[in-house]
Amino acid sequence: MSPTSFILVAIDGGAASGKSSTARALSERFHLLHADTGSYYRALSARLLHSGVSPAAPAAVRAELTDLHLGTHCSGRHAQLTIGGDPVPEADLRSDAVNAAVSHFAALPEVRAALLPYQRGLADLARTHGFQGLVMEGRDIGSVIFPHADLRIFLHADPAERARRRAREGQLDAVAERDRLDSSRENSPMTCPAGAVAIDTSHLALPAVVERIAALITSRLLGG
Ligand code: DC
């Protein structure tokens, strides 16, 4: 393989599998733009809930999404979604109401279609902003958004450990139930993409996970 100057890294995995911490560390190490697509689904969910729209009413969801102007605020290496020019506050993204509703909104084709071109466009944004690449984390990044990413990673961990991680973050989040919904939906279900490197993070500390992926990135950048 010839050396690449821009690297596209897709990281998928369930709730609290360690995706965000891993992606953040890699973005710093290699100067990659970092896109946490779960936060994009959360931002749209917060906006829809704020407007009184339920996931049980797809026509109302479609109508509400039609006029939303999606943009990006780059905060350091982090690509934050803006709606109508404004980022959604972190506290709103992680609220109990959003935790409970986000998987239901994310299962709707209307919501996924609204985010698909936005997410793909972040690769160009990373290039034009001079980043060495893009690390995007989510559930369908290696399978649907960037099936030809240079590197596709799937992180998993046992449910009890993931529930402990969320509890340590002070969050009430039914990770197993969200994973069940995210894996069983018809549209872009969470899956380990063919050809992805799967890593079990249950008993691996973050630095070890980061080192393992960093070695793969270095090898791709050098053309291995
Ligand atoms: O990563 P997270 O827990 O913040 O994700 C929140 C929800 O968003 C998750 O329940 C499923 C959904 N999601 C998705 O369907 N596709 C993605 N690429 C990322 C997240």
77-129 pLDDT per residue, tens: 999 999 999 999 999 999 999 999 999 999 999 999 999 999 999 999 999 99
Sequence-distant contacts of 159-164: CB under 8 A, at least 24 apart: 161/202, 162/14, 162/15, 162/16, 162/17, 163/16
Tell me what pLDDT residue 2 has: 57
Tell me what pLDDT residue 178 has: 80
Q: Give the ranges where 51-185 is alpha helix by DSSP (H).
A: 58-66, 90-93, 96-106, 109-128, 159-168, 175-184
Residue 223, Ramachandran bin (φ over 0: left; ψ between -120 and 50: alpha; else beta): left
Torsion of CA 154, 155, 159, 164, to 10 degrees: -150
Tell me what pLDDT residue 162 has: 82
Cβ(13) – ligand 1 distance below 6 Å: no
Instruction: Give the ligand 1 atom nearest the CA of 115.
Output: 18
CATH of the domain spanning 7-221, picked from 3.40.50.880, 3.40.50.300, 3.10.129.10, 3.30.70.20: 3.40.50.300
Q: Which residue's CA is the nearest one to ligand 1's atom 7? A: 38
Tell me what pLDDT residue 180 has: 86
Instruction: Report which secondary-structure segment, H or E, holds 217.
Output: helix 206-221
Instruction: Give the ligand 1 atom nearest the CA of 20.
Output: 1
Cβ(99) – ligand 1 distance below 6 Å: no
DSSP 3-state of 164 = helix
The domains of the chain are located at 7-221
Q: Compute the distance from residue 1 Cα to the ligand 1 centre, in Å.
A: 33
Tell me what pLDDT residue 175 has: 73
Cβ(139) – ligand 1 distance below 6 Å: yes
Total-model pTM: 0.94
Tell me what pLDDT residue 38 has: 96
Q: What are phi and psi of 16, to 5 degrees?
A: 60, 30
Tell me what pLDDT residue 172 has: 62
Q: Compute the distance from residue 40 Cα to the ligand 1 centre, in Å.
A: 8
Cβ(106) – ligand 1 distance below 6 Å: yes
List of the chain residues with pLDDT < 50: none
Q: Which two tokens stand for residue 187?
A: 């549209």
Q: Compute the distance from residue 23 Cα to the ligand 1 centre, in Å.
A: 15
Tell me what pLDDT residue 223 has: 83
Give dist(CA 27, CA 51) in Å, integer.
34
